[in-house]
Amino acid sequence: MRASSILFVLSTLGVSLWVQAQETDPQRSPQATVERINRNYNTLENACKEVGSGAPRGHYYCSGVTLRMVNDGPFNPWDYSPYAVKTGATSWTWLRRDLSINTLVHPAGMIMRNPVDAQQLGAAVKQEGFVCVYPFDAGTGPDRKWHGCGQYGKAQPVTAGLGGAANLNATTAYGTCPEQGVNNLTEWQKAYGNTTVQRVQCSFNADDPAQWDEMIQIHESRAKANNTAPLAVRTLTNEFMMRNASASSDGSDTTKYIDAFVYNPNSNFNYSTYGDTKPQKPEDGLTSARNFQKKLAAAGFTVPILRVDFTKPASERFGYIESDQAIALQTVPADAPGKYIESSQWSSYIDATTKREEWSLKVIPTSYGRTVGEKETEALYQELLARHGNDPQWRDNEQQVGSMRRQLVCLLVNYRQKPEWYIEPSRPYVSHAVATKAGCNPR
């Protein structure tokens, strides 16, 4: 659903800027964005297919969360540092539930929208520029040719850029591991053992699904760091290399792919990185993320700030808090008719069994909303989430993640013509069959 544009005023550093932004699309509301990113983090999809051709792509293409943590300063967070310009690429991190990573190099950064999500949202789809992935931080720099993915200290690899895979990124994606005889965990351990692996480790091709599987297995195999390989441990970051879109510091090509900004509420520590010109200092992640959000809004795009909290359960790894935002993000008004929902309203009651106050959300679907099939079920839920997902009645009382969605789908399938649907966050998450047997009111 593509909406018309509106104008709003953003005031930053005493200067009023007119910023053009899309009118709210329920699928792009902050609540829908955080729900989608959490779903990506928890979805272990290892067979991503290219939008359009259906060709195999790496795990990042449809699964996990790709983010780049950066410092704040008198520059744009998406621009390329002088060291990145020399390398021809920038370093990103890829997170997913099957990786134990809980430490990032900076307190704040940005999330890149994956290509499958972008296609579904009608946003720009990034198809090219993904080069390689390392199991651990590789200290990448200009001493690794081919956008930071060649062998350390070696000449430009003659086999890079020759393609092979039939996808739109074929002339960019490249990894040295197969050429170095490293195709699995056993061979990786034989090649590197417990030595200093950071700058000598081989790279895995960004668009070979099997090599992503090996990267995950290798990363998870190292439970403890040692003095010779202090950064090769599963709680620390991997390194995902992305080719720069320009030969200068201008990284503005990235702006249209940014899905959200992110900060770690539990750390203000900045790790030293290659290319630093002065020592790193502690940095407040929320302050940085707010500055990033304002800079992107000035460039014409508005996205939410999310928290990445490694103390939370995996299902709640990313969170949206309205008070974190530097600018007022539009949300879908609860009393505004939508494509699928005519109106919705909370009410409370005292449960006869628990004697506690419980919340119930009355939903009146539109005539169209009552007729949707399986292909639009998710869109119906996203509209409801955009209207109420950040309400304390939902946010603070949903006992099990997915319960509200399960009840909604149950009502859609079994009670399409019922004038009002009631959904309650206190109810448990059960299978569709169990929910149906309970009249969509499971206990």
pLDDT by residue (tens digit) across 37-62? Answer: 999 999 999 999 999 999 999 999 99
pLDDT for the residue numbered 335: 61
pLDDT of residue 107: 95
> pLDDT value at position 390?
66
Residue 265, C-beta contacts closer than 8 angstroms, at least 6 positions apart: 285, 286, 307, 309
pLDDT for position 3: 29
**Average pLDDT over all residues of the chain:** 87
Average pLDDT over residues 190-204: 88
- Model confidence over 294-338: pLDDT tens digits? 999 999 889 999 999 999 999 999 999 989 999 877 555 556 677
Which has the higher per-residue pLDDT, 415 or 355?
A: 415
Average pLDDT over residues 352-368: 90
Q: What percent of the chain has pLDDT over 70?
A: 91
The pLDDT value recorded for residue 332 is 53
The domains of the chain are located at 22-324, 341-437
pLDDT of residue 4: 25
Report residue 1 as tokens.
């659903």
Whole-prediction pTM: 0.72
**pLDDT tier for residue 397 given thresholds of 50, 70 and 90:** confident
- Pick the more confident residue, 1 or 325: 325
**Mean pLDDT computed over 150-169:** 90
What pLDDT does 17 receive?
32
pLDDT greater than 50 at residue 411: yes
What is the residue type of 322? E
Query: Does residue 8 or residue 293 have the better pLDDT?
Result: 293
Higher pLDDT, 91 or 281: 91
Rounded to the nearest 5°, which phi and psi values hold at 266? -110, 5
